[in-house]
Amino acid sequence: MSTAAPLLLTPGPLTTSARTRQAMLVDWGSWDDRFNQLTASLCEQLLAIINGAATHHCVPLQGSGTFAVEAAIGTLVPRDSKVLVLINGAYGKRLAKICEVLGRPFSTFETAEDQPTTAADVDRLLRADGDISHIALIHCETSTGILNPLPEIAEVVERHGKRLIIDAMSSFGALPIDAQEVPFDALIAASGKCLEGVPGMGFVFARKASLAAAAGNSHSLAMDLFDQHTYRMKTGQWRFTPPTHVVAALHEALLQYHEEGGLPARHARYAANCQALMEEMAKLGLRSFLPAAIQAPIIATFHAPKDPRYQFKAFYERVKAKGYILYPGKLTQVETFRVGCIGHVTPTQMREAVAVVGEVLREMEVLEI
């Protein structure tokens, strides 16, 4: 039985370093120049990760990732414009729900949860419906871990002269995206995912020209990214109370990100985490839901053991008591559970976690070995 806090193997909130948590032990005033410099430096560094400084603004927003997605759609999609939402999981469905709640006209294209949307699908859909102006896509669909082919889809969207909105929440910082090669109007991510900050703020990379043209689109005061950006450019401050401790922690997390070797190193560690996880789970006879070719090294979904003695809740509690937090499945048709590969964790820790999974399944008499 572990006495330390359990390691989070979840895709946000996730395990952070002690140094990142330490950075939250200071109270900042929102008028403090040093705090506003922290925000400016943060935005500059975030833009650099996608090579976006020439073409995009970084607009930070208080709240969880969904707040930033909703703000991006509400701000950048004019009220009478039509959105095509590409769906292969729960986060894609959430994009459609946002369009519905905001009253933006939209249509959906849904593939199975183990089926990426293809560029050919998008090409066909755009040919068939000339009213569509914006396409909304999940890069890595965290409900399974499936990777959608972003560069190919972006190329088709660009060729049709349409605009792309990307929810890259669970991939930004770990999977390469170059704003000069992959055209988009908005790309959305948050503090508490692959950058290994704490949750509490999102950010939207918005194409400069699109943001400049977005005054008055938003239905909401607090979620208006045009106002949020304009205010910060004018005053250097966040509009409304900033999540000061979250900003400080993210700034510290970014220092560590660069020390580790930036995106290539982060990607390599997560890929090694995922590889270790897959190998050890296979040894226990636990099958991965996705084929390797479409599996992003972010989160993995496993079929639950088909034994009546297996129950996720009991399994979860026993694994937690031994020091690891797993994640429930999010599929409606098949019983699964998920394990995150992201966060301040190493391949060795992933192997240790799977050893615990094996121990627990033997205790529950689900595994005989």
The answer to whether residues 7 and 15 touch, using CB atoms and an 8 Å cutoff, is yes
Torsion-angle region of 63 (φ positive above 0: left; ψ -120 to 50: alpha; else: beta) = left
- Total residues contacting ligand PLP by CB under 6 A comes to 13
Neighbouring-strand partners of residue 136: 85, 165
CB nearer to ligand PLP: give 9 or 284. 9
Residue 152 burial by Cβ neighbours in a 10 Å radius (0-12, 13-18, 19+): middle
Residue window 172-211: x/- pattern of binding to ligand PLP, with contact defined by CB under 6 A: ------------------x---------------------
Neighbouring-strand partners of residue 202: 61, 190
The answer to whether residues 301 and 331 touch, using CB atoms and an 8 Å cutoff, is yes
Q: Which amino acid is at 118?
A: T
Residue whose beta carbon is closest to ligand PLP: 65
The answer to whether residues 114 and 62 touch, using CB atoms and an 8 Å cutoff, is no
Q: Which amino acid is at 222?
A: A
Scanning 123-131, 164-172, 218-226, 230-238 for contacts with ligand PLP by CB under 6 A, the matching segment is 164-172
When asked if residue 64 is in the footprint of ligand PLP (CB under 6 A), the reply is yes
Work out how close the CB of 190 gets to ligand PLP at its nearest, in angstroms, rounded to a whole number: 6
When asked if residue 167 is in the footprint of ligand PLP (CB under 6 A), the reply is yes
CB nearer to ligand PLP: give 195 or 356. 195
Among 43, 47, 84, 91, binds ligand PLP (CB under 6 A): 91
Scanning 33-41, 162-170, 253-261, 355-363 for contacts with ligand PLP by CB under 6 A, the matching segment is 162-170
CB nearer to ligand PLP: give 66 or 273. 66
Distance in angstroms (rounded) separating the CA atoms of residues 71 and 84: 17
H or E segment and range at residue 101:
helix 90-102
Work out how close the CB of 298 gets to ligand PLP at its nearest, in angstroms, rounded to a whole number: 8
When asked if residue 142 is in the footprint of ligand PLP (CB under 6 A), the reply is yes
Residues near ligand PLP (CB under 6 A) are 11-12, 64-66, 69, 91, 138, 142, 167, 169-170, 190
